[in-house]
Amino acid sequence: MSTVIVITSGKGGTGKTSLTAGLGSCLAALGKQVLCMDMDIGLRNLDLSLGLSDRALMDFTDVLCGRCSLEKAAVPHPVIQGLHLITAPVNLPEQPLSHSAMRDLLRQARERYDFILMDSPAGLGEGFRLACCGADRAIVVSTTDASALRDAQRTVTLLRGQIPKLHLVVNRVQPKLLRRLHTTIDDAMDTAGLPLLGIVPEDAQVMLCANREQPLILYASRGAAIAYLNIAKRLLGQKAPLMRIH
């Protein structure tokens, strides 16, 4: 059965896009058909993290407005079999985008893909609501700083009752900083009020690969790459250990 997952946080800079790219790549590497959708109109970056910036020509609004089909807009990855991307438009559309049209697009996507991952824009505005309108699950991404956790808590409040399954991923974890702040991952879980799906360490390879427009899992086998793989396995119902970050 196909699953639509929105990846959100309410705050910029928590690593939603890198997590979307990493999870999408790992789920595809595990044999699933995956569609990653960049919902960040005007500020799209998912194509960079996936190494598809020169291939994604049509965007999701082209599908919503009937200018092209889902099949034509979804760009296959040249190396990672089963991984596809629909990018976001560069400019804001002249007319408001329809939630019913988005749900129709997702119904079509469910027939082709095992997982549809929606990279939600920062903030809790219309772009966030559009990304969430047809989701089965939500992954709320937060770092361990107080402002990110507050925004995560606010995001959870808005999503409860709308999306059946909510999970927390604590991203960009720096053990030394955690010790200096006298906080733990348990504190983050308590503040966000969500079950923990995974922990991702701060990893310079994430930014390096994005800047080179290279998918992380093709060039790294430790750090964030392993964390993404473990989270992907948990989404598939497999047992995978939480990463120990020293």
pTM for the model stands at 0.91
Mean pLDDT of the region 225-237? 94
Residue type, 239: K
| In the chain, beta strands by DSSP E | 3-8, 34-38, 75-76, 83-86, 115-119, 137-142, 165-173, 196-201
Confidence category of residue 169, pLDDT binned at 50, 70, 90: very high
Q: What mean pLDDT is predicted for residues 127-152?
A: 89
Indicate if the pLDDT at residue 222 is higher than 80: yes
Tell me, what's the pLDDT at 189?
Answer: 67
| pLDDT band at residue 209 using 50, 70 and 90 as cut-offs | confident
pLDDT for position 240: 85
Spatial separation of the C-alpha atoms in residues 53 and 40, rounded to whole Å: 15
- Could you give the angle at the alpha carbon of 18 between the alpha carbons of 152 and 182, nearest 5°? 45
CB 173 within 8 A of CB 201: yes
Which is more confident, 178 or 157? 157
For the segment 92-118, what is each residue's pLDDT rounded down to a tens digit?
Answer: 777 778 899 999 999 999 999 999 999
Q: Give me the CATH code for the 3-235 domain, please.
A: 3.40.50.300
Candidates 48, 45, 15, 46; CA nearest to 214 is 48
